[in-house]
Amino acid sequence: MKLKCIAIDDEPLALKQITAYIEKTPHLELIEAVSSAIDAYSILEDNDVDLLFCDINMPELNGMDFIKSLKHTPGVIFTTAYSEYAVEGFKVDAIDYILKPIGYDRFMEAVNKAKLRIKKSESIKNNEEVDQKEGYLFIKSEYKILRIDLNNIKYIEGQREYVRIYLTDQKPVMTLLSFKKLLEKLPSESFMRVHRSYIVNLNKITTIERMRILFDDDVRIPVSEQYKDEFQKFIDENFIK
Do 23 and 92 belong together in one domain? Answer: yes
Do 122 and 142 belong together in one domain? Answer: no
Taking the mean position of all CA atoms in its chain, how far away is CA 123?
A: 12
Domain range spanning residue 198?
A: 136-238
Do 19 and 68 belong together in one domain? Answer: yes
Do 10 and 123 belong together in one domain? Answer: yes
> What is the C-alpha to C-alpha distance for residues 59 and 6, in angstroms, rounded to an integer?
18
- How confident is the model at residue 133, as a pLDDT? 47
Do 185 and 81 belong together in one domain? Answer: no
- How confident is the model at residue 130, as a pLDDT? 46
- How confident is the model at residue 131, as a pLDDT? 47
Do 116 and 35 belong together in one domain? Answer: yes
Strand, coil or helix: 83: helix
- How confident is the model at residue 132, as a pLDDT? 45
From 74, 93, 128, the end of a domain falls on: 128
- How confident is the model at residue 114, as a pLDDT? 93
Taking the mean position of all CA atoms in its chain, how far away is CA 131?
A: 16
Pairing of strands 144-149, 191-195: unpaired
From 128, 144, 178, the end of a domain falls on: 128
Q: What residues in the chain have per-residue pLDDT under 70?
A: 85-91, 122-134, 217, 240-241
Measured CA distances, 66 to 50, 57, 139 (Å): 16, 11, 30
- How confident is the model at residue 142, as a pLDDT? 77
Residue 233: Cβ within 10 Å count: 11
From 128, 158, 190, the end of a domain falls on: 128
Q: Does this model's pTM top 0.85?
A: no
Do 52 and 141 belong together in one domain? Answer: no
Count of domains for the chain: 2
> What is the C-alpha to C-alpha distance for residues 181 and 80, in angstroms, rounded to an integer?
39
For 87, half-sphere exposure in the C-beta direction (CA atoms, 13 angstrom radius) is 1
Closest CA to 109 of 122, 91, 120, 95: 95
- How confident is the model at residue 209, as a pLDDT? 87
- How confident is the model at residue 161, as a pLDDT? 77
- How confident is the model at residue 61, as a pLDDT? 93
- How confident is the model at residue 169, as a pLDDT? 81
